[in-house]
Amino acid sequence: MTQPYLLLTPGPLTTSDTVRAAMDRDVSTWDADYNQITQQLRADLVTLAQADCHDYAAVLLQGSGSYAVEATIQTALPRTGAKLMIAVNGAYGRRMAEIADYLAVPHVVVEIDETKPFALPLIEATLTRHPDVTHFAIVHCETTTGVLNPIEAIIPALHARGLITIVDAMSSFAGVPIPTAALGIDYLISSANKCLQGVPGFGFVIARRAVIAQTAGNARSLALDLYDQLATMEAHAGKWRFTSPTHVVLAAAQAMKELQAEGDVRARNQRYAANQHRLAAGMQALGFELIVAPAAQSPIITSFKYPTPDFDFAAFYAFTKAHRFVIYPGKVARIPSFRIGNIGAVQLADIERLLTVVAEAQAALAPAAG
């Protein structure tokens, strides 16, 4: 079916016709065929994370990505004798701190400017001041701005210090290669509706088996007990605890096949990067400045400054939407901005068409002369 517009947003995003068609079937959560689809998906997710099923397990959890983040934090942190350090350079890092507040999980925040990536020295210096920290959490791609935090430089050092490491790779997993085992990541979190290119409805966590095995009884809520969710999936060969989002899982299984057919994460990463490079160059040529320096820019989403203080984003948005492109408002605290996503079933030709539409919008929305 033809879609009314293309979503240039960081998820839910534009999915393929075949991913949407895969949902056109009712299945029973008690059926072995369906549970086998869950098991295959779990195994494929571990492989995608560059980890081994003996050492890591994929836990799928109903809800949006934030549910998986909240489940991870409350399951990973023991109720006593533990402290979480959270690296914050955007809204999603801040959300983890808010989750820790709600759960009354002891935590310290290390915060930097939203437009910059983290570097290891600041994190190590903060740890030295807080020697009681046991767990560390960071966002990989801060979708707030599009900044990519260099987890490959940060996580191995913290893992070597004996910290349990949590990475919110919601918007980067399956779009940026992540060597989970080699880096020493204990919990890697993402969801169905981002670079996997499925539809919204569940999140997932790739957890180190030896670490999550120690977390029985930690969770502060029943429905978000990641330990129990995993125990049920393992004991009953892929059966979900509580009602499973069956149609969403069918879509995710199809999305996984399409990712493999595309040539895996490396090929998808190249497509996204080509989209991002063309978008950034084309928008700059039209007078839109970037917020994130190219060295820290992810291939996932790009933030642009308003070109003038009186830029009418609502009119700009309405124009691009009428021309079949839905873009995204900005989220940077102190810089008026908007964002354009580079992910989903989006090709270079789509970006070229968007740039033409943006040029038309500028001409149509320019204040009349005189």
Ligand X SMILES: *Cc1c(COP(=O)(O)O)cnc(C)c1O
Cβ proximity to ligand X, 89 vs 215, nearer residue: 89
CB of 144 to ligand X, least distance (A): 8
CB of 58 to ligand X, least distance (A): 17
CB of 169 to ligand X, least distance (A): 8
b/e sequence 178-203, b meaning 16+ C-beta within 10 Å: bebbebbbbbbbbbbbbbbbbbbbbb
Cβ proximity to ligand X, 38 vs 191, nearer residue: 191
Q: Which residues pair with 337 in a beta bridge?
A: 305
Tokens encoding 40 = 């295959």
Pairing assessment for the beta strands 135-139 and 107-111 based on DSSP bridges: unpaired
Cβ proximity to ligand X, 250 vs 301, nearer residue: 301
Q: CA geometry: angle at 330 spanning 69 and 64, to 5°? A: 25
CB of 167 to ligand X, least distance (A): 10
Q: Which amino acid is at 351?
A: I
Q: DSSP string of 266-331? A: HHHHHHHHHHHHHHHHHHHHTTPPBSS-GGGB-SSEEEEE-SSTT--HHHHHHHHHHTTEE-EE--
CB of 324 to ligand X, least distance (A): 23
Cβ proximity to ligand X, 171 vs 218, nearer residue: 171
Which residues lie near ligand X (CB under 6 A)?
10-11, 64-66, 69, 92, 139, 143, 168, 170-171, 191
Cβ proximity to ligand X, 19 vs 343, nearer residue: 343
Provide CB contacts within 8 A for 277, sequence distance 6+. none
Tokens encoding 137 = 């959490």
